[in-house]
Structure 1
Amino acid sequence: MNVRSRLFRGFWVVGLLCALLLIGEGLEGQSSATLTTDENFRAQPNGTVLGQLRAGLSFGVVEVTNDWLQFDLEGWVYNLSLQAIDRGEFGLVVSQEDGENIRGRPNGELLGHLEEGTFLEVLQRDPDWSLVRRRAWVWRRSTALFASGTSGAADRSITSASSGVTPDGEWALGRSVDAPILSTPDGDTLAISAPGTNLRVLAREGNWARVRLEGWMWLPESADGAAEASILTDVTLESLAAAPDEYRGEVLQWDLQFISLERAEELRTDFYVTEPFLLTRMGSDGEGFVYLAIPPERLAEARGLSPLERIRVVGRVRTGAARLTGSPILELLSLDRIP
């Protein structure tokens, strides 16, 4: 290869890298996003939940990290639900026991809800209301991302799929643009539904609906063995605790001992509030506890279990270490009693 050819290739590679860098910079600070579904916002990517935002909210993107977008939330909060603090850039904290709403203007349109204990920057104080700001992160798959200068990005009207939901057990028409279907209201994205997708409503929890999607996918018969092989049967509590992120989303089979059926309280941030779950343990000698999130259609089956009964479960790992207890949480896929 001659010198001229080498120089040409070198300049081409440098030019390509520069272009990629410019594209990345364009996403951060020069793009905007619109929420396509109600979604939590967090202090850090996949970190502490600060509150919930309503579908249709648009905001400028400050930074992009993997599947997370950083943005600045600004709005008005009622003063009686706030307490003054001195925490560097933060001058207020949400002190109301069950949190407080954040609005586009005093007593105006609802933007979302702030959890108790959320720190806020103060932009303006009025007798009854405060204009506040909080930099936070939101799951990228729950947004429609627009490049700088895209028309309609800020005022785009996104209709939540819940607005098209008919009574439980009937068919509903999904209306959101690229609406994510999640494993739980605060869980992983399983699929993206197109506008006009027919959905079967199985249960409701507030503004969330558990839905069933019927369709076809390419799955040759030879793939059956691979599907069965994807269920891990040799994972221990120790190995899961040692690499919780590595196992997230994996399907495990465990023999457990049932203790009780519970409902999640607000402190258990890995569940949505009142989400049903089974408290179980790995061995009768107290080897370790395991939580099993129960889908609504399996509640009757779960209520029929007796304390200390042995069960064999297949579940998908939601987290290898719950924030409150450090124990793993599985999303129940199947349950069998062990004679």
Structure 2
Amino acid sequence: MIGILGGGQLGRMLALAGYPLGLSFRFLDPSPEACAGQVGALVVGDFLDEEALSRFAEGLDLITYEFENVPVEAARRLEGRLPLYPPAKALEVAQDRLREKTFFQGLGVPTPPFHPVEGPEDLEEGLKRVGLPALLKTRRGGYDGKGQALARTPKEAEKALRALGGKGLILEGFVPFDREVSLLAVRGRAGEVAFYPLVENRHRGGILRLSLAPAPGASEALQKKAEAYALRAMEALDYVGVLSLEFFQVGEELLFNEMAPRVHNSGHWTIEGAETSQFENHLRAVLGLPLGSTAPRGQSAMVNLIGEKPPFAEVLKVEGAHLHWYGKAVRPGRKVGHITLRRDGLKALEEGLARLSRLVSELPWEGV
């Protein structure tokens, strides 16, 4: 039995990918309404509650996690009892934006300029080094655009400093990028690796709305560059499982933005759009099984459903559309499902996306 820390939709999709392999699952989540509980055993409890951790761990063969804000202390406690993949060290890096940027910079991976901020003096020094415009972010927590503010002037930077608590921050130079892309990589227990094609990601309001896979027009050189950066990170962390790296693309250069030590939203297209999904490959990796092919099946688009439930029948009328509903209550700003559109060519994909754009609000589709 595999234990999964977290009971959201990523855990749910891991379990759905694992059942054909004869696997069983148990989740640990603080919420009794965690949607993964609909497809597997759910232990409800705080991640640092020793009694809950013990109930969760009993009888498990190994543990993985489905989101990167699991307390490192909980991961360390469990790592002492059972195999835990990816390693807790990866959580430590991913949970602190300053540590994350420093780690990748140390690997020789280009990043935007950044500076730690613990008060007004640091902010002043950071603005000199980083320049304006700049993004001021909390070092910990925050996702989907939360915990950050764009500053175009020194006054706006000072206002952002106060709004974000005045310390525990990182100032990053704003990058005028061409587009945002991500790479999903997977590394097995024996060190074998595989890479999915680069994916183009489009956001609205800081939330991922649309992924295009493979990223249209991405060169082989750009793909190889991203793979080399991911390989350095995985080897340095002795990583096992799926790792997602997000980049800003500027011409043929990639600037590292952030990592996620888990299966990732920008990889949901792989369920229908690749020979082996990211979820199955993560399970194969942590179990020491042979990795599956990451080859794409034609062209795919993944459309996030954020706080809305479109008419299912109309969605399914679109040729090549596959609907995934997570079993969550619909609330504003909440990821409640996704649609994967898979077609054999880019023109057919564009036609399908044009139809979906009339069914899903906030879909950033203006063509490739």
Structure 1-normalised TM-score?
0.25
Q: Which has the higher helix share?
A: 2
Structure 2-normalised TM-score?
0.23
Q: Which has the higher strand share?
A: 1
